[in-house]
Amino acid sequence: MTKQYIENHKQYFFEKGLTVINSVFSDDEIEKIVKSIRNADNSRENFRKSDDLFAVRQFLKEVPEVKDLIFNDTIKAIVREVFGEKYFAVKSIYFDKPETSNWYVAYHQDLTISVDKKLEIQGFGPWTTKNNQFAVQPPLPFLENICTIRIHLDDTDEYNGALKVIPGSHTQGIYRPDTIDWSKETEKFCDVQKGGIMLMKPLTLHGSNRTTDGRRRRVIHIEFSDMELPENLKWSERMN
């Protein structure tokens, strides 16, 4: 993967709020990642299992052996060249939409961050607390700074729940889905091959349709930032 190739993706990413890079992980690397997930102790409270979804919150903490598999030379280069030298991981989730799962996700922006405690700080709120984990909507500059990598463990297209996005919507601040002007905006499906990644800004409006062809979709979602939080507030999953 040449520096110019990454640079082209960087320009598109900051203009449109997303880009897809395929062939980042080999089939062998994906198999090792899948095996690590399969072997993890899924009785813990950060593992959520239902007929529709298997999800792991704080994924890099819960399945630490995947770290070396995920942060291969290509991913490190992409973080460094596209996001910036000082970016670190701040949130990680694994989710598996099994073959029987058939729910859709309405258009939304990712507006909260995961932090270690609840503090009254100007500009931070509203707060939510679930299983002793704290999430809060921070001031806009924090959201504009975050960059997300979504690693695809399966081929994904519009028929098995690939993300649909509104390119460029990340530049418009908090953008309520009910105010989308469809005469000006265009919807795009983000097909990603197994072993490929999607880079996304959390303020890019995104959603997904129901699965129509019975194929599963497994994705690792990791958010990065290079901003420290104010006062004594800390990212709950900060990891260099």
Strands (E), 111-162: 113-115, 127-130, 133-136, 147-152
Q: Where are the domains of the chain?
A: 3-225
CA separation for the pair 88, 224 (Å, rounded): 5
Radius of gyration of the chain (CA): 17
CATH 3.30.2130.10 holds for 3-225: no
Buried b (16+ CB within 10 A) or exposed e, 7-38: eebbeebeebbbbbbeebbeeeebeebbebbe
pLDDT at 51: 64
User: Which tokens go with 12?
Assistant: 């598109």
Show pLDDT as tens, one digit a residue, over the chain (240 residues): 888 999 999 999 999 999 999 999 999 999 999 999 999 888 888 887 766 668 899 999 999 999 999 999 999 999 999 999 999 999 999 998 766 666 789 999 999 999 999 999 999 999 999 878 999 999 999 999 999 999 999 999 988 889 999 999 999 999 999 999 999 999 999 999 999 999 999 999 999 988 888 788 899 999 999 999 999 999 999 998
Q: Please tell me whether residue 76 adopts helix, strand or coil conformation.
A: helix
Q: Please tell me whether residue 154 adopts helix, strand or coil conformation.
A: coil
| Contact (CB, 8 A) for 232 and 156 | no
CA separation for the pair 167, 24 (Å, rounded): 23
| Contact (CB, 8 A) for 63 and 40 | yes
User: Which tokens go with 203?
Assistant: 């303020």
